[in-house]
Amino acid sequence: MALRFAKRMNNIKASEIRELLKLTQRPEVISFAGGLPAPELFPIEEMKKAAMKVLSENGAAALQYGPTEGYNPLREKIAKRMAKVKVDATIDNILITSGSQQGLDFVARVFIDPGDVIICESPTYLGAINAFKAYEPRFVEVATDNEGMILEELEKALKENENVKFIYVIPDFQNPSGKTWSLERRKGLVELANKYNVAIVEDNPYGELRFEGEILPALQHFDTEGRVVFLGTFSKILTPGVRLGWICAQPEVLSKFIMVKQGADLQSSTTAQMEVNQLLEDYDLEAHIEKIKEVYKRRKDLMIKTMEQEFPEGVTWTNPQGGLFTWVVLPEHLNARELAVKALEKNVAYVPGGAFFPNGGHENTFRVNYSNMSEERIVEGVKRLGEVLREAVK
């Protein structure tokens, strides 16, 4: 059978993380590979109560089609939650999506023509690379430091490249690096986007998981021209299984996304939206987030402490103030893809960092997750990684 597929399929490859996760399903493997929340923190009993209440009191509506924009009471609650990142939003700014990953796909559909330029952090989120790549753009990576994108490098990229459609960034606890942008860089990015008339896609799945200090204003807070498209999600602050995220944008921009969603899946699950809305009415989500932060901070601190004890000289890593990941940089002569095989032989897994660079290279890096493993398994897993790294640097 020789079916003729669209040319765009040549640009689509299986997610490296998803493929790796298949290998880590064995119970003996200590996996730092996925970006998985801790399942023991899921509010299972509260979700049961919310589901029962929705189905018993409003079951016919919960099982029926709903508007593309989403369930209005939930949209209103999301708009109010945007105040946490200093964004003044109304229901007219919110579109419910089937996870923020769908939002990334919609961004690509709305903005990208073949050959267009996408500017992104270097490294950047692999899931975004895969979502955008299907639409045949060209990626321009901009170097980052501990305060975010280096603005001089960003302006150079904007000057030297035509057809830049948007700048894609994760300003808070970036995936994969764990870095957070400073206020000055946030303001500077928006100013440059205004100057060069490009959109900004602000991906914010981790912003509420800040372990210390105050939540910083979103890029959208500084947006005076309606060019920032904000992506949020319940996956990291509630559960990923409900598959609910949102896009926050100006109504004239959001209308494009609404049309795309109508063609994609008509709407996100009515049942899931109504259940999450009920949960938000009956359950203290803020207290739940505080519990998550406490656990993740403890696990992050333990991972960093064990790395300090077990990793050899010449290996460095980030120490994030929130989120789910830390980023490890090896001496340049080492290849993290090759070492991942040796790590799996010791039943420990991470994601090689080269996958997070759309234009390749940087194979001496890898990402580790600290949210999903118990403290005991974090210590044991880092010790095993330390053995692999010490052997490699000899």
Q: What is the pTM of this model?
A: 0.95
Coil/strand/helix, residue 152 = helix
Pick from 118, 66, 49: nearest CA to 269? 66
DSSP code, position 214: P
Amino acid at 207: G
Concatenating the DSSP letter of every residue in 13-71 gives: ---HHHHHHHHT-STT-EE--S-PPPGGGS-HHHHHHHHHHHHHHHHHHHTS---TT--
- Sequence-separated (6 or more) residues with CB below 8 Å from residue 378: 299, 302, 303, 306, 370
pLDDT in tens, the chain (394 residues): 688 888 777 777 666 555 666 666 778 899 999 889 999 999 999 999 999 999 999 999 999 999 999 999 999 999 999 999 999 999 999 999 999 999 999 999 999 999 999 999 999 999 999 999 999 999 999 999 999 999 999 999 999 999 999 999 999 999 999 999 999 999 999 999 999 999 999 999 999 999 988 999 999 999 999 999 999 999 999 999 999 999 999 999 999 999 999 999 999 999 999 999 999 999 999 999 999 999 999 999 999 999 999 999 999 999 999 999 999 999 999 999 999 999 999 999 999 999 999 999 999 999 999 999 999 999 999 999 999 999 998 7
Task: Give the domains, in start order, of the chain with CATH numbers.
Answer: 7-43+287-392 (3.90.1150.10), 45-282 (3.40.640.10)
**Is the Cα dihedral 214, 273, 243, 297 positive or negative?**
positive
176 cis-preceded (ω within 30 degrees of 0): yes
What does the CA dihedral 359, 363, 364, 370 come to, rounded to 10 degrees?
Answer: 90
